Amino acid sequence: MIKKKLTTGAVSLVLFSFFLVSFFLETTSAIMAADTSGSKIIVNGEEILIPGSSEKNITYLQILQKPNDLDLNLKYAQQQGKIGNYKQTIATLERLNMIYPDNVEIKLYLLSVLVQADSPNKALTIIEDIKTSEDLTPEDVETINQIETTLKERGAPKLWNFYADISLGGVSNQNVNSVSKTRLQSSADEVVGFNSAKYDKTYSEGLGLTATRSLGENSSLMINASFTDSEQREETADDFESYGLTIALDTYLGNQSLSPYVMISKTDYQDDADGFSLMQGIGGSFSVGDQNSFSYGYSFSDSKNNKNSTDTTANETNAKGHGLSLGHDYVFNEIISSSTGLGYSTSEAKVGTNDFETYDLNFRLNFALPLGYISVGNGLSFNDYKNVDTSINSNRIRSDVTNTFDLMFTKAIGDFFPTIDPDKSLFISFSYEKIFSEANIINYDYISDSFAVSLSKSFHLNK
């Protein structure tokens, strides 16, 4: 077991960080001066220099390769803290604190970063941990108590946090009605022309309101209400308003992160039957080492459509469905990551011609580059219907496969115009999608291209 005494330098480090958050200029100057000279921390009986700005940068890949290297990890934590990446600094120091639970120096360094990052809950937790040390002097205890009192005087952590999200978007589709490649289709065993329009644009706007509440140390509740308005330029198939409500719980069971949820939605189409859906399920994930994480999920859905004068067969697609998913995420380095997913779903409709099973396989590469976030994906979906649809082709049961390729680029507006978006919470996204569909019935042999642009921004309403 490692036991080291709390030093005057370590207490000063905590005080510097604490008063930095309170905007005391004298301490800010002291910390800025310390950045270039470096500082020392005693671990395992040795002095380890935490580098100043002149030290060589440590990469995230080096940390993944040597997660227990004290010198390397402390240098990395210092460098990430200097550029404001407190998430990585905190994660690194929390890992070291687990390896050396009796080392007060590491705890104090972690406390200083938590204060800078404005994480009062974690800061108060680490203070309680520090106060259990047998090596603290009365002066040390008094200093820690002063910091604890001031943190608590700032106000107890909010039980509820409220957020708002707004979005605007537009999609240009080169085959909005999935017109077949031959512009022919089967209808009641006859081949006729497929003369629906191909080119159209759709505009949308959305608003989301979210409330979150912590439930104990490892759980939280989330309630989200959303509204979307969609308008198609030429036709009206995508003219609708939709309303949604989601309730989800995030919690941990051992090393498993679990998220049960319930989703309710209603879609009001301008020229079609209204749709209602209920979905409930659970998702889970766990990590294996620092580079691998696995996810899984199950969902049940129940969708219904109102039959009305404009669509007398809408309720024939009323269906109940089940879905299973498995996923794997891999972190190559701090820039590149990948995701692989498998899925299976089944749907049983009111009318058997709409019963089908789907098998999904998808792969995605993500690049967190300085110029922006880029994501490239490719997916295959195999759809097998269970019954003949005599209104289309009485000789074949539909079976098709779709290959979907997509490319997305996202960037914070604040990177270009910091005065407009100083906190970098306004994002612009560009995306491209291409679908190849092959089927044993000509109606579903088609190619579709679409290009989309969107703007989104989040607000913390009671920050």
State residue 310's pLDDT score: 62
State residue 12's pLDDT score: 47
- Quote the number of domains for the chain: 2
Task: Note whether 108 and 220 are same-domain residues.
Answer: no
| Domain at 404, CATH number | 2.40.160.40
Angle made by CA atoms 358, 362, 363, in degrees to the nearest 5: 175
Task: Note whether 114 and 245 are same-domain residues.
Answer: no
3 belongs to a structural domain: no
Domain span at residue 232? 160-460
Q: Looking at residues 267-295, what average pLDDT do you find?
A: 90
Give the tens place of pLDDT for each residue, 114-138: 877 767 778 888 888 888 877 777 8
State residue 308's pLDDT score: 65
Confidence check: pLDDT of 37 > 60: no
| Domain at 148, CATH number | 1.25.40
Query: Cβ neighbours of residue 417 under 8 Å, at least 6 residues apart?
Result: none
Task: Note whether 264 and 318 are same-domain residues.
Answer: yes
Confidence check: pLDDT of 141 > 70: yes
Residue linked to tokens 């004068």:
309
Beta bridge partners of 365: 338, 376
Higher pLDDT, 316 or 288: 288
Is 430:450 a contact under the CB 8 Å cutoff?
no
> 103, 129, 153: which is the final residue of a domain?
153
Task: Note whether 24 and 78 are same-domain residues.
Answer: yes
CA distance 227 to 327: 29
Task: Note whether 88 and 188 are same-domain residues.
Answer: no
Give the tens place of pLDDT for each residue, 386-445: 999 999 999 999 999 999 999 999 999 988 888 888 888 899 999 999 999 999 999 999
> 126, 153, 180: which is the final residue of a domain?
153
> 98, 133, 153: which is the final residue of a domain?
153
1 belongs to a structural domain: no
CA distance 378 to 365: 9
The model's pTM: 0.67
State residue 23's pLDDT score: 35
Task: Note whether 260 and 126 are same-domain residues.
Answer: no
